[in-house]
Amino acid sequence: MQKCYLYQRTAYRRAFSEGLTVFEMMPANKAAGEVWRLSRSLFKTGKVKKKKKNLPGAGNNKAS
């Protein structure tokens, strides 16, 4: 398990007060790098898989 840390940085507060992300406000700073590393460790493939839902009347129910 890889450890990822988000340090207390002024960049987070500034971006939040402007309604932006650290990527939009300051894309080349340390805060953006920390968030990028955290997201890569959480989502290894970069894609979020959606669960399939069994919807009534969609023809995928096996009740007879």
Handedness of CA 42, 44, 48, 53 (dihedral sign): negative
pTM: 0.60
**What is the distance in angstroms between the CA of the first residue and the CA of the last residue of the chain?**
46
Say how far apart CA 12 and CA 32 lie, in whole Å. Answer: 9
Domain-wise residue ranges, the chain: 10-42
Mean pLDDT of 51-62: 60
**What confidence category does residue 3 fall into, taking pLDDT thresholds of 50, 70 and 90?**
confident
Q: What is the pLDDT of residue 4?
A: 83
More confident residue, 61 or 52: 52
Q: What is the pLDDT of residues 11-47, one digit of tens each?
A: 999 999 999 999 999 999 999 999 999 988 888 765 6
